Amino acid sequence: MTKSSLRATSIAALALALAAQPAAAQDAPAREPTAFTLETDQPRTPEQEAVRFDKADVSIKVLPETKSIEGVAVLDFTVLSPIQRLAVELDTLFTISEIKLDGEVVPADRWSNPEGRLTVEVPAGLAEGATPTLTITYGGQPRTAPRAPWNGGWVWSTAPTGEPWIGTAVQLNGCDLVWPCIDNSHAEPGQLDMHVTTPGNVSAPGPGVFTGMTENADGTKTWSWSIKTPNIYAGMINVGPYEEMTAGYQSRFGNTIPMHYWHLRSDDPAKVERLFGEFSRMLDFFESTIGPYPFGDSKMGVVETPYLGMEHQTINAYGNEYRIDDRGYDWLLQHEFSHEWFANQLTNANADHMWLHEGLGSYMQPLYARFLHGEQFMQAELKTQRMGLVNAFPVVSRTDRSVNAVYGGSEGPGGDIYNKGSLIAHTLRMTLGDEDFYEAIRRLVYGRPDPRPGNFAPRLATTQDFNAIVNQVTGQNYDWFFDVYLYNAALPKLTETRTGDQLTLAWDTNGLPFPMPVEVEMNGEVQTVPMRDGRGSLTVPADATILIDPQNKLLRQLDLVDDLQAYNRTQRAARTAR
């Protein structure tokens, strides 16, 4: 059977192949995936490194009544070096009813999935250049998210109008909670086609480009989507009673970008209109600040979800309930949209570099506040970010780590990848100047300084890559900046001493070189003090009024922040003890 035939029959075969599968009892005790499955971005096996993942064609029937699914995944690979087995990840909560290799059923004793890494033995071997197709029929009750999106899985909810309202959020736990995949950023498929079958009274917006809807004889509908080079958690499920709002955005780069918002039909039309009005402003900000929207040949999409949000490529999840605050824009919508550049176009090569997603994405919010409302609003957001730093672990450990190890906070930076990453980016911008900073960001995101629609592709990068780009763009060595801010937990401490008419400044960075210049305002005039060996001095009159770093350009240790954080901890402990 040809590969096109395999894919063509996957939807039709779905109901028949799994019709005899018993639905899990509603009152059965909750089961959990294995510890292996609940991690993501773990090292690939040699077999996984020896293949290129060309395409995934995934058909999923969603069964809201039993909170279960039925699925068929057709996975195409190209073999790069000879192997004796194929391996993908799939949650053990799913029951696998059949596996085929190139259309032939694989005997049950030649495949196993004990911990969530499904291994299929190929006794005859697969030679370099072979193009095997693995077809996996599976189903059952997937993991229900305990606290989406942070503790992920499937969210089974009901819309205000009574219809099923379902979503998946699996960034921190992996694509294997939804479909068979290689759960590692280095193994994104070249293309993902998704066919989601739903009850007839709801729809299923998806990633990439809409390729059609089929009305089935049993009253269900199948919604088909296709996305190129998707992030590994971009293959998400959305089911609900949606209405769609659309418009075209005329990009400053000459192309027209389709904008789509799928919202619940019960939403207040005025709120929907107001939120949709933010789409074009955000696009203009990002395109003028960073560069072209990476997926303009697909769409800029947003879908309302029964959980807070997630940066799903071309269809970001939105659950902020149209809240209004003093920012002057919807922070959740803007933050998730930033990840189209910092997560989906640029993907970290390992979770240890997650700050490239979250820190640079978080810095887009103060910058956007300035874009909309001016300097005061940017500084207000930077101050809020500054008050929340923990500084317990380095932002980057320089060892490969899983996503949960980075996010957890007990052994990794946790929330510091957001706020500290943003403040590091701000300090870098203040140090380099806008021209060099934004060129470095463009090279990091697009792999080139002159991105235009069609001349770049999604890419992987590390903190070390960013360091090298900064050095290349500036023609100077900024290793000291990355060493102190990214690879060291403690913030640099600036001490100041006034003796007579001399002001002496010194950086304390645990012995690390740190020639960061310091601005000093003296009687209203600003001077820059060179700190080539971490020390510098300035002659000042005895009665002069001095202000160090008057524009707060530098991320550094501040007693006022440490004192406030200590006070807050004491107050919380006292309340707990009552």
pLDDT at 165 over 60: yes
Structure token digits, residue 366: 């103060």
- Separation of CA 192 from chain center: 18
pLDDT in tens, 487-519: 999 999 999 999 989 999 999 999 999 999 999
pLDDT in tens, 461-476: 999 999 999 999 999 9
Average pLDDT taken over every residue of the chain: 94
Enter the pTM of the model: 0.93
Tell me what pLDDT residue 30 has.
Answer: 61
Tell me what pLDDT residue 157 has.
Answer: 98
- Separation of CA 36 from chain center: 20
In the numeric block, the tokens 């890494």 are attached to 117
Mean pLDDT score, 449-457:
97
pLDDT at 179 over 90: yes
Q: How far apart are CA 380 and CA 378, in angstroms?
A: 5
Write out the H or E segment, with its range, that includes residue 360.
Answer: helix 355-373
Q: Are 105 and 83 in contact (CB under 8 A)?
A: no
pLDDT at 78 over 90: yes
- Work out the number of other CB atoms within 10 angstroms of the CB of residue 31: 12
Looking at residue 107, what DSSP letter applies? P
pLDDT in tens, 4-60: 444 444 434 443 343 333 333 334 446 799 999 999 988 999 999 999 999 999 999
pLDDT at 108 over 90: yes
* Range of lowest pLDDT (11-20, 103-112, 224-233, 271-280): 11-20
* Range of lowest pLDDT (179-188, 211-220, 419-428, 537-546): 537-546
Domains 3-143+164-234 and 493-554 share a fold: yes
Q: Are 188 and 196 in contact (CB under 8 A)?
A: no
Q: How far apart are CA 407 and CA 228, in angstroms?
A: 28
Whether residue 149 has a cis bond before it, omega within 30° of 0: yes
Tell me what pLDDT residue 542 has.
Answer: 85
> Which own/partner contact pairs does 24-29 have at CB distance under 8 Å and 24+ positions apart?
24/66, 24/68, 24/140, 24/141, 26/66, 26/67
Structure token digits, residue 117: 């890494």
In the numeric block, the tokens 């900046």 are attached to 481
Query: Could you tell me whether strands 459-461 and 535-539 are parallel, antiparallel, or unpaired per DSSP bridges?
Result: unpaired
Mean pLDDT score, 435-439:
98
Top CATH class of 493-554 equals mainly beta
The CATH classification number of 245-485 equals 1.10.390.10
Mean pLDDT score, 520-541:
95
Backbone phi and psi for residue 64, each to the nearest 5 degrees, phi listed first = -60, -35
Mean pLDDT score, 374-391:
96
pLDDT at 453 over 50: yes
Q: List the chain domain ranges.
A: 3-143+164-234, 245-485, 493-554
Structure token digits, residue 27: 């009152």
Mean pLDDT score, 432-456:
98
Tell me what pLDDT residue 12 has.
Answer: 41
Helices (H), 192-350: 269-289, 331-338
pLDDT at 322 over 60: yes
Higher pLDDT, 410 or 536: 536
Q: Give Cα separations from 373 to 93, 368, 419 (angstroms).
A: 49, 8, 21
* Range of lowest pLDDT (21-30, 251-260, 400-409, 543-552): 21-30
pLDDT in tens, 416-431: 999 999 999 999 999 9
Q: How far apart are CA 81 and CA 296, in angstroms?
A: 35
Tell me what pLDDT residue 455 has.
Answer: 97
CATH of 3-143+164-234, one of 2.40.160.10, 3.40.50.970, 3.20.20.70, 2.60.40.1730: 2.60.40.1730
Backbone phi and psi for residue 227, each to the nearest 5 degrees, phi listed first = -135, 140
